[in-house]
Structure 1
Amino acid sequence: MSAEVSRYDRRAASRVLAGLAQPGLFEARLPVPDQLRIEYAGTALQTEPNSHLTFSQRLYLERFMRPCRSYQVTSATHRITWTDSSGVPNTGHYRADGLGPIMPIATREATLLLWQAVAANTELAQRISALGPREHAVLAGTTTDHDPLEIFRVGIEATGRALAQHALLARQTPYRSAAEFAHGMHDSGIFAAVATRWYWELQASTYRRGMIPVTLAAQPDGTVRYTAETVATLRAMKDTTIDEAHMVMRRATSAEGLSVPEAIAKYHEDLDLISRQYALLPAGTRPACLAAMPHQLDGAHYSLLPLVVDQFVTVFTQLAARCVLVEVPLDPADELTADGPATAEDQVFYVPDMNCKHCVRTITGVLENMGIKVAEIDLISKRVVAEFRSPRNRARAFEAIRDGGYNPVGERPAQHPTESTV
C-alpha cells in the first residue's frame, strides 16, 4: 500500500468510525458482576475564602472559560479516591447534597465493562485491520488518538464523564437515584447536548477539577434542559476557543511564514490547551463530536452517539444497583517533609484521570518544565515513571500536576476482589 498524507477532515473521520461501529460495536456481551465491593476515601474540597470554587477551579475559569462567570459554575463538595475492579486507582468528585460517590464509581465500572466488550469484538478488529491507508490518513490528520480502538475507548469514557459530571447538578432535577438520573439524562438528550455544544478540553478539564458550567431546568414532561443562559455561555466559550486557535495559526502561517505542520509542531503547547483540531477548522465552522454526526450507511440513517449512550446507560444502571461502597479513612501524606534521595518506589505514580494522548503530553510537559525526566507513561494502566530527585520534589510535582487539573496517586492500592452474591 502506498503511504497517504494525513489530512484534516472531520466528516470523513466520523464516517470511518461510523462504518467500523455500525455493524455492531458492542456485539461481544460480557456478564455484569452480581456484586462489586469498592472501598473509597473521601475528602472535602478546600474552597477559597468567600468563594464556592477552589484555587484550581478559579484559575481555570479565569484563564480558559471566558466569558463564563463564577456564579454559572457548580463545584463538587468532595473528592474521592478508589481502586476500580481492574486494579487501577481513580479519582472523582461528588456533592454532599447530591447522589454521592456511586456516580463516579459506577461510571468507571461501566466504562471498564464497555471497554472490555469493544476489545473482545473480533469482527470489529477485523474491520479495523481492513482499513486502507486513506482511512488511516484521515484519522491521523483529524483525531488526537489515531487508533480506532483508542478513539472508541476515549468516546466511551467521555460518555461516562458527562454522566458523572452532570450528577453534580442532581438537585436541579427530579431524579433521586443513580438509575433515575442516568435514564433522565438519556431521555433529556443531555449527552447529545454535551457532544454538540461543549468543546473537548472544556469537558475533560472541568470534570477533572470537579466543576460544571451548566444550569438545568426541569420541564413539565419530567425531562431537563440546559437553560438559555447555559446554551449561550457554552456557545461563547466554544467560539472563543476556536478564535484563539485560529489566531495562533494565523500568526504562525502568515507573520512567521510557517507551514501548517510546522506551526502545529512549534506551537503544540498553545494548541494542546485549546485543541489542535479547532486550529484547522475552516472559518465559520462550529464543530460537533465525531460520534454525533449523522451518516447514511447501507441505505439507512446512522449515528454512533445514540448507540454508545444506550449501552452506557444500560450497563451503568445494572452496575449502580450492584456496587457496595465502603468508605475508609484517607491516609495522611508525609512526602512534604522528606528531603532524602528518591527511591525506586518514589519514581512510580498513577494519574487516574489521564485518558488520552492530550493528557499524556500535558503531564509530560508539566514534569519536563520542572526538570523532571519522564521515563515511561502508559494510558491503559495510568502508570507514570519519572526521575524525581527526592520525595519533596515529587510532592511539588504532584501539586503542579493538580494545578493542571489532574489528580496523581502515589501508589496503586491493593486490588479488591469482585464478590458475587449467592
Structure 2
Amino acid sequence: MTERSDNPRYDRRAASRVLAALAHPGLFEGQPTVPQPRRIEFTPTALRTEPNSHLTYSQRLYLERFMSPCRPDQVTTATHRIAWIDSDGIPNTGHYRADGLGPIVPIAMRETVLELWRGLTANAGLSNRITALGPRERAILETTTTDHDPIEIFRVGIEATGRALAQHALLARQTGYRSAAEFARGIHDSGILAAVATGWYWELQASTYRRGMIPVTFATQPDGTVRYTADSVATLRAMKDATIADAHTVMRRATGAEGLSVADAIAKYHDDLDLISRQYALLPAGTRPVCLAAMPHQFGDAHYSILPVVAERFVSVFVAMVPRCDIAEIAAEFDEETADAPAAAEDRIFYIPDMNCKHCVRTITGLLESMDIEVGEVDLITKRVVAEFRSPRNRARAFDAIRDGGYNPVAEQPSALRSGAPYSSETAV
C-alpha cells in the first residue's frame, strides 16, 4: 500500500498514499445529505482600524512580522467580527464584510464542518480500515504528518476547506456571486480550494483567517469564474519561499553548527519552526511542499486524490446547510453605566477553550501584559486564566485583543470541557 524501505522517514508521497487508501473506498459513506435545521444567535462587533488605515493594530503587526513581501494594499480585511455558540455548544468567532455576504458564511461553514466531522466518526468502514493499518503505515504518518491520527488528519482537512471558503467570502464583492450558496459553488468551480491547498502554507492561511484578513485579489474570467491575480500568486509564492528558507536556516544551524539530531533540533527550536515550518525544515533542498490531499494516486484503472472529494462534499453540504441555519443577531451585554467601575473579583477568571499549547499560553500572556494587565494564572489543562482587569471595559477590550490573536475567551467554562468532551474550533492553534 505504501512505498517500502527499512526505516520509514519523512515522506510526503508515502503518507499521502496511506491516507488516500483509507479514503478511497468512501470517506463520507452513510452521511445524511440533508442537514437538520438549527438556530444560531450571534453578536457582531465592528473592527477598530488604525487611523488612516484599513488594518487593525493586530493585522498590521502580523503583516509586518510574518507576511513579507505582502503590502497593505494587497490585503482585504473584514469589517466585523462575530461571536456565537455552535450547535455543539462551543464558542466560535468569525469575520465578515458589511458589503459582502454577511455572517451566514462563517456560521454555516462551522455547522458544515461539524456535520462532516460527525460523518467521519460514524463511518464504520473508515474506522475499520484505520484499525487495520500496519505498523509501517502508522510509522510513515508519525514521521511525516503533524496530526498522526488519520481521523484527525481528515478533520483538519475538512476544517481547512471551510476556513478557506469563509475567508474568501471577504472578497465576494470582487465576484459576480450574489448569495452564499452561489459563492460556494463558484469558488469550487473556479478551483480556488485547490489553489489554497497548493499555493498557500497552513500557518499563514490559518493565522490570516483568524485575524479577518486575506492577502489575495480575484480576477473574473470571461466564463464568470474567478482566479487569483498574477500579483497575488507571486506574493503567495514569495511568502511561502521565505518561510521555507527560514525553516531550512534554523534546521541547518541546529544540525550543523550545533550538532543536534533532527529530533533534538525540532524539540529545541519548537517555537521557531512551529507546526508547518517544522515540516518545511525537513524538505530536501529545492523541493516545494505539496498538499497531501492533492497528490494523485492510482487505484485500479483510475487516479484518485482526496482534495476533490472533500471539496465537493463540503460545498454540497454547505449549500444545503445555508437555508437550514436560522441566524439571529443579539446585542452584546455591556452596561455603559458601570463600564469603568472597578472589576469584580469574579471577573478575574475566564476560559480560553482553544488554548492548546505553551505557545498559546505565551501569546495570550503577552497580549494581556502588553495592555498592562497582570496575569496571575494560565492553566492549560482546565483552560482557566486569571487576570487583574481594571474595569469591565478593560476586560472587554482585552477579550477583543485576544480574539484578534485568534482565540475565543469566554466567561464560563464551556459544557464540552466540563463533560470531558474534546474541544475543536476553527480558531484553534
Normalization by structure 1: what TM-score?
0.87
Deviation of the 1:402 alpha carbon: 4.0
- Within the candidate set 102, 106, 109, 1:107 is matched to 109
Cα pair distance change 1:368/1:47, threshold 3 Å: closer
Where do residues 25-36 of structure 1 align in structure 2 (5 Å cutoff)?
Answer: 25-30=27-32, 32-36=34-38
Asked whether 1:346 is paired with 2:343, we answer no
Where do residues 277-292 of structure 1 align in structure 2 (5 Å cutoff)?
Answer: 277-292=279-294
Aligned position for 1:98: 100
Give the length in aligned residue pairs. 399
Aligned position for 2:384: 386
CA distance in 2, matches of 1:139, 1:372: 39
CA distance in 1, matches of 2:201, 2:15: 17
Point out where structure 1 has 5 or more consecutive residues left out of the alignment: 378-383, 416-422
Deviation of the 1:147 alpha carbon: 0.7
CA distance in 2, matches of 1:392, 1:132: 56
8 A contact 1:366–1:400 mirrored in 2: no
Deviation of the 1:33 alpha carbon: 3.8
Greater mean deviation of Cα atoms: 180-189 or 284-293: 284-293
Greater mean deviation of Cα atoms: 400-409 or 250-259: 400-409
Determine helix, strand or coil for the equivalent of 2:273: helix
Aligned position for 1:20: 22
- Within the candidate set 331, 348, 364, 2:361 is matched to 364
Point out where structure 2 has 5 or more consecutive residues left out of the alignment: 1-5, 370-374, 417-429
Deviation of the 1:341 alpha carbon: 5.3
Deviation of the 1:90 alpha carbon: 0.8
Aligned position for 1:309: 311
CA distance in 2, matches of 1:31, 1:189: 23
Deviation of the 1:328 alpha carbon: 0.4
- Within the candidate set 35, 47, 56, 2:58 is matched to 56
Where do residues 187-206 of structure 1 align in structure 2 (5 Å cutoff)?
Answer: 187-206=189-208
RMSD: 2.7
Aligned position for 1:410: 411
CA distance in 2, matches of 1:147, 1:273: 16
Cα pair distance change 1:40/1:285, threshold 3 Å: same
CA distance in 1, matches of 2:339, 2:287: 48
Aligned position for 2:424: none
Cα pair distance change 1:34/1:124, threshold 3 Å: closer
CA distance in 2, matches of 1:405, 1:90: 10
Deviation of the 1:131 alpha carbon: 0.9
CA distance in 2, matches of 1:271, 1:335: 41
Greater mean deviation of Cα atoms: 49-58 or 394-403: 394-403
Greater mean deviation of Cα atoms: 26-35 or 232-241: 26-35
CA distance in 1, matches of 2:240, 2:24: 29
8 A contact 1:195–1:292 mirrored in 2: yes
Greater mean deviation of Cα atoms: 169-178 or 395-404: 395-404
Cα pair distance change 1:8/1:337, threshold 3 Å: farther
8 A contact 2:142–2:148 mirrored in 1: yes
- Within the candidate set 246, 253, 256, 1:254 is matched to 256
8 A contact 2:199–2:233 mirrored in 1: yes
CA distance in 1, matches of 2:212, 2:399: 17
Where do residues 23-172 of structure 1 align in structure 2 (5 Å cutoff)?
Answer: 23-30=25-32, 32-172=34-174
Aligned position for 1:221: 223
Deviation of the 1:135 alpha carbon: 1.3
Determine helix, strand or coil for the equivalent of 1:217: strand
Cα pair distance change 1:340/1:174, threshold 3 Å: closer
Aligned position for 2:3: none
Greater mean deviation of Cα atoms: 73-82 or 388-397: 388-397
Counterpart residue type for residue 283 of structure 1: A
8 A contact 2:352–2:383 mirrored in 1: yes
Aligned position for 1:319: 321
Determine helix, strand or coil for the equivalent of 2:386: coil
CA distance in 2, matches of 1:145, 1:200: 13
CA distance in 1, matches of 2:399, 2:189: 40
Determine helix, strand or coil for the equivalent of 2:44: strand
Asked whether 1:331 is paired with 2:328, we answer no
CA distance in 2, matches of 1:411, 1:269: 30
- TM-superposition CA deviations, 1:61-85 (whole Å, max 9, x none): 1110111000000000000011111
Structure possessing the higher relative contact order (Cα contacts under 8 Å, 6 or more residues apart): 1
Aligned position for 1:419: none
Cα pair distance change 1:82/1:69, threshold 3 Å: same
Deviation of the 1:162 alpha carbon: 0.4
Deviation of the 1:9 alpha carbon: 1.1
Cα pair distance change 1:92/1:255, threshold 3 Å: same
Counterpart residue type for residue 22 of structure 2: L
CA distance in 2, matches of 1:388, 1:5: 47
Asked whether 1:179 is paired with 2:181, we answer yes
Greater mean deviation of Cα atoms: 247-256 or 178-187: 247-256
Deviation of the 1:282 alpha carbon: 0.7
8 A contact 1:79–1:92 mirrored in 2: yes
Cα pair distance change 1:406/1:375, threshold 3 Å: closer
8 A contact 1:21–1:304 mirrored in 2: yes
8 A contact 1:79–1:91 mirrored in 2: yes
8 A contact 1:367–1:373 mirrored in 2: no
Deviation of the 1:18 alpha carbon: 0.6
8 A contact 1:43–1:78 mirrored in 2: yes
8 A contact 2:81–2:93 mirrored in 1: yes
CA distance in 1, matches of 2:414, 2:100: 27
Cα pair distance change 1:115/1:273, threshold 3 Å: closer
Deviation of the 1:375 alpha carbon: 3.7
